[in-house]
Amino acid sequence: MGKGLWNPKIIELEGMAMTGQLSNIVLVDCDRPKGWKKLRVTTLDGEEYETNCMEPDAAKRNFMVFTLYIRKWGKDVVKEYSEEDLPTSNFDEE
């Protein structure tokens, strides 16, 4: 699992997913507490990281959001736009 030097928080992994740095996510069972889950993610560089164990419902919600970022939303966040695509407003005009 990765370099073992970083214990990621959900918000850090979400930022990576949001900016297109993750390629895969899986939901993994925890030994203790029984029934709890953790997320294991893989970066585009092949590094793997795991979250701490969390309640099953929270893990499933996070899994769904991360999956959407990896499959769709992340591509929209990092999409390059030309100046013609950006809204124009002149805030100096009265």
Model confidence over 23-33: pLDDT tens digits? 999 999 999 89
What range does the domain containing 28 cover?
10-75
Query: Taking the chain, what is the end-to-end CA distance rounded to the nearest angstrom?
Result: 57
What predicted TM-score, i.e. pTM, was given to this entire model? 0.69
Q: What is the pLDDT of residues 60-75, one digit of tens each?
A: 999 999 998 888 765 6
Q: Is residue 87 part of a domain?
A: no
How many domains is the chain built from?
A: 1
Q: Is residue 29 part of a domain?
A: yes
CATH number of the CATH domain containing 59:
2.40.50
Mean pLDDT value across residues 34-45: 93
pLDDT band at 93 (very low <50, low <70, confident <90, very high): low
Q: Is residue 34 part of a domain?
A: yes
Residue 85 pLDDT exceeds 70: no
CA distances from 90 to 2, 20, 87 (A): 47, 32, 10
Q: Is residue 59 part of a domain?
A: yes
